[in-house]
Amino acid sequence: MKNEHEKNAHDDRSRISRRTLLARTGATAAALAAGPVLGGIQPAHAAAWRVPGEEVPHKRTWMAWPSSYTIWGNLLSKIQADIAKLAKEIAKYEPVLMCADGSSAASQARTMCGSTVTVISSIPVSDCWMRDTGPLFRVDGAGGLDAFGLNFNAWGENATRFYGIPASAYDKDRVIAQKVAAYAAVPFAKASVVGEGGGVEYDGDGTLMATESCWVNSNRNPGKSRAQIEAELLARFGASKMIWLPGVTGQDVTDGHIDGTARYIGPGVVMVQLAGAVRPDVWTENAQAMHDVLVNSTDARGRRLQVLTIEGPDVLPRVSPGKQSQFLSSYMNWTVTNQAVITAQFGDTGKDAAAKSAIAAAFGRPVVQLNLDNLYGNGGGGAHCVTMQEPNR
């Protein structure tokens, strides 16, 4: 049983979002000098291997069941409820494989997720952020499948620096990528860079998008130049062009993941969410800056990008005023399934409906909007952050 001091610390931390502003930390971006590529890492496969776009057919979606009180404190049950709601919705369209940390957590997950979600206890997990911790699956166009990992380090150890969560609390997530790959019975390799799946977008046709704030950052890739990081990501993803976008350093635990603001619909087509009235100015300005770069960009095939836009909500009627600036009010943090796109609704009737219509038109498939306020608010991540697709071979 935790003593009262520990419980109070957890309760205080539970009120801090995963994307909480960090002015009090004084965190600043550091300029990185060029340095040698780390040795001892298996080299990337030939360019014939590629990570396909998320809109292609999936074999299944991987998720992870949160069960750590050390990480979540008194918010744990609310986050679990949102994870279960999302998993049950995804399972209507494709298989869901949920990793749980041991038999007790697995039993709880089965009860809350129901029989349509497959829960396994053989892959230990620390937390629910499978997009950031899990492997990236690749195909070779000839029936081959393999995977690689991005060496998750708890968002540059920001989880410890921002929230005081012990670094050891994420030990299982630091090695989950290779265990998922082993379960899927595919070859696995580690990249020579550190980052997260939510920090890079890929079209499956040769082009990547990423924010410099995540990757060219001393908390993940000290001593590496942007060119070195880019070369490794392109090789791993089987791509030939990177579009670097401005990001935001030190304002959230992810250092400005791209998947809340700019996403691929498919090759040559991206969507950007321009911030609504509830987002702080730093995010509003960053979204506009991303948009301005993308409208003047071409992809690996020489196509000028078609840039679609939606607007974030202007009101969050279910969220207290004091928490609204910390809320991930992103329709963009969707997860794509075989027959539908699943995203959030925030109670802004007009903006919710407009986003749903625009996303449905862009993908040409139905859009489901769920109330996931605890995940997007208290968790600071969304449907994309907690899912990882495994493509068909």
Nearest alpha carbon to residue 305 among 206, 373, 225: 206
The domain 47-391 having CATH identifier 3.75.10.10: the answer here is yes
Using the structure block, give the residue that is written with the tokens 């075989």. 338
Residue 297: per-residue pLDDT = 98
| Confidence category of residue 192, pLDDT binned at 50, 70, 90 | very high
pLDDT above 60 for 77: yes
Q: What does the pLDDT read at residue 23? A: 29
The answer, yes or no, to whether residue 327 has pLDDT greater than 50, is: yes
Say if residue 376 is exposed, middle or buried (CB neighbours under 10 Å; 0-12, 13-18, 19+): buried
Predicted local distance difference test score (pLDDT) of residue 19:
41
pLDDT at residue 84 tops 70: yes
Give 276's pLDDT tier (boundaries 50, 70, 90).
confident
pLDDT in tens, 28-54: 233 222 222 233 344 444 449 999 999
Position 251 confidence tier, pLDDT thresholds 50, 70, 90: confident
Q: What is the mean pLDDT of the chain?
A: 89
Distance, in Å, from the CA atom of 249 to the CA atom of 272, rounded to the nearest integer, reads 19
What confidence tens digit (pLDDT) does each residue in 334-354 have?
999 999 999 999 999 999 999
pLDDT surpassing 60 at residue 25: no
The pLDDT of residue 6 is above 80: no
287-313: pLDDT as tens digits: 999 999 999 999 999 999 999 999 999
Instruction: Identify whether 385 is a catalytic site residue.
Output: yes
- Structural domain boundaries in the chain: 47-391
Q: With 50 as the cut, is the pLDDT of residue 384 above it?
A: yes
Q: What are phi and psi of 265, to 5 degrees?
A: -90, -40
pLDDT, residue 29, reads 31
Average pLDDT of span 192-206: 98
d(CA 232, CA 241): 12
CB neighbours (10 Å) of residue 393? Answer: 13
DSSP conformation letters of 227-296: HHHHHHHHHHHT-SEEEEE---SSSSTTSS-GGGTEEEEETTEEEEEEP-TTS-HHHHHHHHHHHHHHTT
Amino acid at 273: Q
Q: Hey, is 79 helix, strand or coil?
A: helix
